[in-house]
A = this chain, B = another copy of it.
Amino acid sequence: MLLMEQKILAEGKVLPGNILKVGSFLNQSIDTGFLREIGKEIAGLYDGCGVTKILTIEASGIAIAVAAGMELGVNVVFAKKHKSSNVDGQIYSSVVHSYSYNTDYHIVVSQDYLRPEDHVLLVDDFLANGKALEGLMDLVSQAGAHLVGVATAIEKGFQGGGDGLRARGVRVESLAIIESMGDGTITFRRQ
């Protein structure tokens, strides 16, 4: 998605530690016109693939998931993050390691909202090492649902998570894939 690459180049900030800050349009501050375009792009990629539900993780995945869900005409479910596994009710849960914070956290979704008959598209804002998506895939598997694929706004290709999932046969679509970044330059993978 050329528009995503242009937006990253215009407004993204590369910080030490391979951090790309896109808070001005994608996290914390959300450009709703641009978000609508993201939703249409994701919907176009997965149009006709039988998606019945979108699954994401709170908080920064919600906006993109909602935009895609509106365009695909399907509902969105977001997994909640918890520090402990001590959550009441009938739930699916998985453990995700965060490299950013060097800690584990639990992601949790009610069994009411993820069903065996669901064909699930995973949506998130960033794809780096892919640990969060692997956690979501675990929830889909626990529910006995069908995984259609993954859609992310920005993939850090150099961290390998996306290609690891592709090597396992998972369809992964990222609107922009960053091959390398640093010293104020960002290089995208040609798709």
| A109 adjacent to chain B (CB < 8 Å) | yes
A32 located at the interface, meaning its Cβ lies under 8 Å from any Cβ of chain B in the complex: yes
Considering the complex, give the chain B residue whose CB is closest to the CB of A112: B24
Please encode chain A, from 32 to 74, with 1 for each CB lying within 8 Å of some chain B CB and 0 for all others: 1101100000000000000000000011001100110110011
- State whether B113 touches A32 (Cβ < 8 A): no
In the bound complex, CA of A74 to CA of B31 (Å): 8
Asked if B70 contacts A24 (CB within 8 A), the reply is no
Chain A 11-38 per-residue mask, 1 if CB under 8 angstroms from chain B, else 0: 0000000000001100011111101100
A58-B59, A66-B63, A66-B66 known; A113+B29 contact, CB < 8 A: yes
Contact yes or no, A30 B75, CB < 8 A: yes
Complex CA distance for A113 and B26, rounded to whole angstroms = 12
- Which A residues form the contact surface with B (CB < 8 A)? 23-24, 28-33, 35-36, 58-59, 62-63, 66-67, 69-70, 73-78, 80, 109-110, 112-113
Question: Which 6 pairs from chain A and chain B are nearest by CB?
Answer: A58-B59, A32-B69, A59-B59, A29-B113, A30-B76, A62-B62
15 contacts between A and B (CB under 8 A): A28-B80, A28-B110, A28-B113, A29-B112, A29-B113, A30-B76, A30-B77, A30-B78, A31-B75, A32-B66, A32-B75, A33-B70, A62-B63, A63-B63, A63-B76
